[in-house]
Structure 1
Amino acid sequence: MEHIQSGQEPTPFSDKPWLLRYPTDVPAEIDADAFSSLLDMFEQGVNDFSDQPAYHNFGKSLTYRELDALSRDFAAYLQQSLKLPPGERIALMMPNLLQYPVCLFGALRAGLVIVNVNPLYTARELRHQLSDAKVDTIVIVENFAHTLAEVLKDTPINNVILTRMGDHLGMIKGALLNFVVKHVKKLVPDYHLPSHIRYSTVLKQGSGLRYDRPQLNGDSLAFLQYTGGTTGRSKGAMLSHRNMLANVEQCLGMYSPVLHIGQEKVVTALPLYHVFALTVNGLLFFRIGAQNLLITNPRDIPSFVKELKGYDFSCITGVNTLFNALVNNEDFQKHDFSSLKLTIGGGMSVQRVVAERWQSITGSRLLEGYGLTECSPLVSVCPYDMDGYNGSIGLPVCSTDIRLVDDDGQVITLTHTPGELEVKGPQVMSGYWGADEADSASPDNPFHDGWLRTGDIATIDEQGFLTIVDRKKDMILVSGFNVFPNEIEEVAMQHPSVLEAAAVGVPHAEHGEVVKLVVVIKRGTQLDKKELKAHCRQYLTAYKVPKVIEFRDELPKTNVGKILRRELRDEVS
């Protein structure tokens, strides 16, 4: 497999060549212990920027001072009424609403461990995550309560806190939005949760309760962020306060020369339950006192663009599909981009045509980054002084070591030579929740001699720019979300007519990849694609549902009977 461009020869590369390519005002190292915990960062932020707007959503704003008071009340209720001790798990299951930062920082202030949950999960997916993480309490938007009601008895959940879309919008506007959402748009399916607490009640009662600041340090667990993992099974990456703080400081180190404290306005269209938005939008921009416009439904592009009107944003993050949708919207093209100075793309590969069109319309370079949940997530980003798109995933961020290894685990010392990317740094997780990683030879162990194995095949050039040349071995990347074939195949195999199934990713212009399912039907049975797709839709979130289904008489296999997904992928690559 040849990845060297014409005219290029592999040459030895020096130790950390990327440091020489850093802009002169970007540090080689950051202080991962600048704050002892996320609580320290939070307390400094609400003190320094108290009267400035922190979050905007549906025309309502919260200042840093108001966020301080509301999150305190939320934390006090968790501590005093629910008696939740530090280290207990709490799940947040909601889109981007003002409730999210209140609950996020409130739970952290109570010393709890946050388990972010995709609100679009099916009952099967939700049951697994809540049970695996041993979640005690969940905060959920009413729109998705029916899913929770279906699995509640099968989970360790003791407390359900229920909120509605308009709960922070005031009596009149909030009541109107809640009425429209439930009775006009019919977005709240019927549910039965006999024992739950209203979010508004939590805040009201919490305001009269004592808050006790917990004793936390950098090693204290902050998040169980669920991912497909680098080895293919769904699991919770254990991200400590220090992991998250380090990644915030690393991102700040790379981009602080263009960011001004207390002056930035960021657009958060990616869901905050996704680790990219969580760290960059949710924590980094809080760290510098930015205003944050929360977009609840970024798929509704016309409404999204309308919300941007009058908001002279200076920063925006997103994935390739979002940027592509925006540049193809005529109203967005007419927006005033004179304030925009930082655009960061992550989650999936940014396509050249999208990056170049974005730059021509907005005047802002679309800087691609790379990361994974296990790294909190940022590993590399394109430097702010780049002229434009170069097809790379950028340079390793400050205080990050990377190396490439061959199939035998030997370190590669030549440029432009592909190898598996391995990472070491203060942002790297301690391990997976509940996993036994004592056996270093186990395929489930994500570490190799103390380095995190990413499973991605990359090259490095003389300046230190990294380029991904092959996806993780089996992972499918749909619009920035990890999809592992094991889960898709397991669901497909539950259909009584399916004998064998293999899932692979196939290229897609809008989503990067979509899921293709290749199926062998049991002899004497009948099955059509529509029926199988409907079956999958019952158990899988929409982006995981196979978009392409193919029936075959047999699947390619090794001599010992293992299905060769690579052969299926190569047929369409």
Structure 2
Amino acid sequence: MSELVHDFIFASAARTPQAPALAHGDIRLDYAALAGAVRAAAAALGAHLRAPGERVAVFLEKRVENVAALFGAAAAGAVFVPVNPLLKPEQVAHILRDCNVRVLVTSSERLAALAPVLAACPDLRAVLATGLKSGAETPAAGAPEVRAWEAALAAAPASTPARRIDADVAAILYTSGSTGKPKGVVLSHRNLVAGARSVADYLAIGPDDRILSVLPLSFDYGLSQLTCAFLAGASAVLLNHLFARDVVAAVAAERITGLAAVPPLWSQLARLPWPADCSLRYLTNSGGAMPGATLAQLRAALPRAQVFLMYGLTEAFRSTYLPPEQLDRRPDSIGRAIPNAEVMVVRPDGSACAPGEPGELVHRGALVALGYWNDPAKTAERFRPAPGQDPALPLVEMAVWSGDTVRRDEEGFLYFVGRTDDLIKVSGYRISPTEVEELAYASGLVEEAVAFGVPHPELGQAVVLLASVPCADEATRGALLKECQRRMPAYMVPQHLALRAEAFPRNPNGKIDRPALRAAFLDTFESSIA
């Protein structure tokens, strides 16, 4: 049984060396070729590493070199740090400094953009860049060594990687940083292996599956597409898409069977025509609730595809999923705990909530991360002893306290209520932003919706609804307000309703950038009443 995350590739290569493993454009690798690319990358990276556990950052769009570098770093005994390709140089430099990256793998074009900030990364020892022209390898004084990736692969001596076990750190994944500096979530090999086994189990991923990788590999949900595929001996197809229609085209051209996306992308995909003979076997959603209207459109367009609604957080990867056969009975549920995880709903004192009683979601088990890199204060806030442990145990088990409010029904299914600090309180009523957004979607007038609370001198808070609509005029605003009044109790009806014709901004993981929208509204709101 594979115990380290890169062993998935080597084990599949031993079983089925000629089976398709990885594709990007015209490049096609079978498992034997992918295993060879990972070993070569491990040797090239190992030549620049001095101790096990040093960090290797990869700042590339999705391509074969990216995958080889990530899993090659693990095979070399290092810790891989996938950096979102959408980040700006200063954001990349923060990550390089924060986790003391020693080796950076990037492209010559990205290296040119990073050049001004690399001097502020004193721990960086070497940069390996794809496509680097001859003569560009000479670094400036005091700068890290710069080498062409291709030359490093050719010159790397054979080496024996440092011995690692599944408790060792495998990766550091940085959150999007939409509220302050991004935090590095530390994941062990055990975390990644357990996560892949659990998800591949309930999705029934097998060697015949072809999984489309559309999400960033720096996103735990995106990285999961690779780990699940390589565990099962399936094929992963990398796609750097510009438009939603590119995804539909890739699904058809590559005969894709598995597709994962976040709600904003699903909303776009649901409005597009899909071929009648679509090959999709399953769809998965995480990163936020899928609007009910979007779910209905997808199910109508893709009747043969099973839809898995999921809930997860980077600190524990994946927590729950709703089996497809439950969709009609409870389409607003986030499901029950995934295999090999326990998900609890607790009060602030850690005692269990009764059915129907809102409480904080707490996740315990093999998927719980090792904390935030170099940040003991934030780690202590989120990673705390698991509730209900026997006091005779001398060492406590740590769990992730999610900060999300959920409720459990009599049958054990969970329902998302909202972020603990995002609940809106109007005249003593506790309002879920998700519920306001769902009712706005149900009107059929909005394409995207974001709800939150703002201070109110008499009510405590007032509800704000921001909506992206095809035509942001007063007629649409009036129609949407009437729909809200028709569908919502009086205390829930938005007191502030703002429309925009363009799509909402996204964070680097493709989710709606809610903090940015809230901050922009508050700037306008506060200045208007000042």
1:447-526 correspondence runs (5 A): 450-473=398-421, 507-508=466-467
**Bigger RCO of structures 1 and 2 (CA < 8 A, at least 6 apart):** 1
Looking at structure 2, the residues matched to 380 and 277 of structure 1 have their Cα atoms a distance apart, in angstroms, of 17
Pairwise CA distance, 1:49: 2.3
Equivalent residue, structure 1, for 2:210:
265
Match 1:369 to one of 301, 310, 320 = 310
Q: What is the SS of the residue equivalent to 2:29?
A: strand
Q: What is the SS of the residue equivalent to 2:84?
A: coil
Pairwise CA distance, 1:308: 3.1
Q: What is the SS of the residue equivalent to 1:67?
A: helix
Pairwise CA distance, 1:194: 8.8
Looking at structure 1, the residues matched to 268 and 29 of structure 2 have their Cα atoms a distance apart, in angstroms, of 29
Looking at structure 2, the residues matched to 374 and 404 of structure 1 have their Cα atoms a distance apart, in angstroms, of 17
Pairwise CA distance, 1:51: 0.6
The one-letter code sitting in structure 2 at the alignment partner of 1:66 is A
Q: What is the SS of the residue equivalent to 1:107?
A: helix
Pairwise CA distance, 1:474: 5.6
Equivalent residue, structure 1, for 2:152:
202
Q: What is the SS of the residue equivalent to 2:171?
A: strand
Match 1:45 to one of 5, 8, 12 = 12
> 8 Å contact 1:421–1:458 — kept in the other structure?
yes
The one-letter code sitting in structure 2 at the alignment partner of 1:395 is R
Match 2:110 to one of 123, 144, 147 = 144
Equivalent residue, structure 1, for 2:95:
129
Match 1:219 to one of 167, 176, 181 = 167
Equivalent residue, structure 1, for 2:246:
303
Question: Structure 1 residues 418-427 or 304-313, which shifts more?
Answer: 304-313
1:14-413 correspondence runs (5 A): 34-80=1-47, 82-155=48-121, 156-164=123-131, 195-206=145-156, 209-227=157-175, 234-256=182-204, 259-260=205-206, 262-279=207-224, 281-297=225-241, 299-330=242-273, 333-334=274-275, 336-337=277-278, 339-363=279-303, 364-375=305-316, 377-388=317-328, 390-406=331-347, 408-413=348-353
Pairwise CA distance, 1:384: 4.3
Kindly tell me: are residues 240 and 229 of structure 1, through their superposed partners in 2, closer, same or farther at Cα, counting changes over 3 Å?
Answer: farther
Looking at structure 2, the residues matched to 203 and 49 of structure 1 have their Cα atoms a distance apart, in angstroms, of 25
Looking at structure 1, the residues matched to 420 and 9 of structure 2 have their Cα atoms a distance apart, in angstroms, of 36
Deviation by residue 1:431-460 (Cα, 9 ceiling, x = unmatched): 2212336x99x6465556533110000011
Equivalent residue, structure 2, for 1:551:
524
Deviation by residue 1:304-339 (Cα, 9 ceiling, x = unmatched): 333333322211111122222222223xx23522x3
Kindly tell me: are residues 300 and 144 of structure 1, through their superposed partners in 2, closer, same or farther at Cα, counting changes over 3 Å?
Answer: farther
The one-letter code sitting in structure 2 at the alignment partner of 1:328 is R
Question: Structure 1 residues 427-436 or 238-247, which shifts more?
Answer: 427-436
**Unpaired stretches in structure 2, ≥5 consecutive residues:** 134-139, 388-397, 424-432, 435-451, 453-462, 470-504
Kindly tell me: are residues 423 and 302 of structure 1, through their superposed partners in 2, closer, same or farther at Cα, counting changes over 3 Å?
Answer: closer
Q: What is the SS of the residue equivalent to 1:225?
A: strand
The one-letter code sitting in structure 1 at the alignment partner of 2:257 is S
Equivalent residue, structure 2, for 1:416:
356
Q: How much is the aligned-residue C-alpha RMSD, in angstroms?
A: 3.5
> 8 Å contact 1:312–1:336 — kept in the other structure?
no
Question: Structure 1 residues 230-239 or 263-272, which shifts more?
Answer: 230-239
The one-letter code sitting in structure 2 at the alignment partner of 1:322 is L
Looking at structure 2, the residues matched to 142 and 64 of structure 1 have their Cα atoms a distance apart, in angstroms, of 28
The one-letter code sitting in structure 2 at the alignment partner of 1:342 is Y
**Unpaired stretches in structure 1, ≥5 consecutive residues:** 1-33, 168-174, 176-190, 478-484, 486-503, 511-535, 557-573
Equivalent residue, structure 2, for 1:181:
none
Deviation by residue 1:464-521 (Cα, 9 ceiling, x = unmatched): 21111112526999xxxxxxx9xxxxxxxxxxxxxxxxxx9965559xxxxxxxxxxx
> 8 Å contact 1:236–1:433 — kept in the other structure?
yes
TM-score, normalised by the number of residues in structure 2: 0.74
Pairwise CA distance, 1:277: 1.4
Looking at structure 1, the residues matched to 383 and 203 of structure 2 have their Cα atoms a distance apart, in angstroms, of 33
Kindly tell me: are residues 335 and 308 of structure 1, through their superposed partners in 2, closer, same or farther at Cα, counting changes over 3 Å?
Answer: farther
Looking at structure 2, the residues matched to 335 and 46 of structure 1 have their Cα atoms a distance apart, in angstroms, of 34
Kindly tell me: are residues 509 and 231 of structure 1, through their superposed partners in 2, closer, same or farther at Cα, counting changes over 3 Å?
Answer: closer
Kindly tell me: are residues 44 and 198 of structure 1, through their superposed partners in 2, closer, same or farther at Cα, counting changes over 3 Å?
Answer: same
> 8 Å contact 1:89–1:112 — kept in the other structure?
yes
> 8 Å contact 1:120–1:144 — kept in the other structure?
no
Pairwise CA distance, 1:114: 0.8
Q: What is the SS of the residue equivalent to 2:191?
A: helix
> 8 Å contact 2:405–2:418 — kept in the other structure?
yes
Kindly tell me: are residues 319 and 335 of structure 1, through their superposed partners in 2, closer, same or farther at Cα, counting changes over 3 Å?
Answer: farther
The one-letter code sitting in structure 1 at the alignment partner of 2:524 is F
Pairwise CA distance, 1:96: 1.4
Pairwise CA distance, 1:282: 1.0
Kindly tell me: are residues 463 and 542 of structure 1, through their superposed partners in 2, closer, same or farther at Cα, counting changes over 3 Å?
Answer: closer
The one-letter code sitting in structure 2 at the alignment partner of 1:123 is P
Q: What is the SS of the residue equivalent to 2:371?
A: coil
Looking at structure 2, the residues matched to 233 and 126 of structure 1 have their Cα atoms a distance apart, in angstroms, of 11
Looking at structure 2, the residues matched to 335 and 134 of structure 1 have their Cα atoms a distance apart, in angstroms, of 50
Pairwise CA distance, 1:552: 5.3
The one-letter code sitting in structure 2 at the alignment partner of 1:114 is F
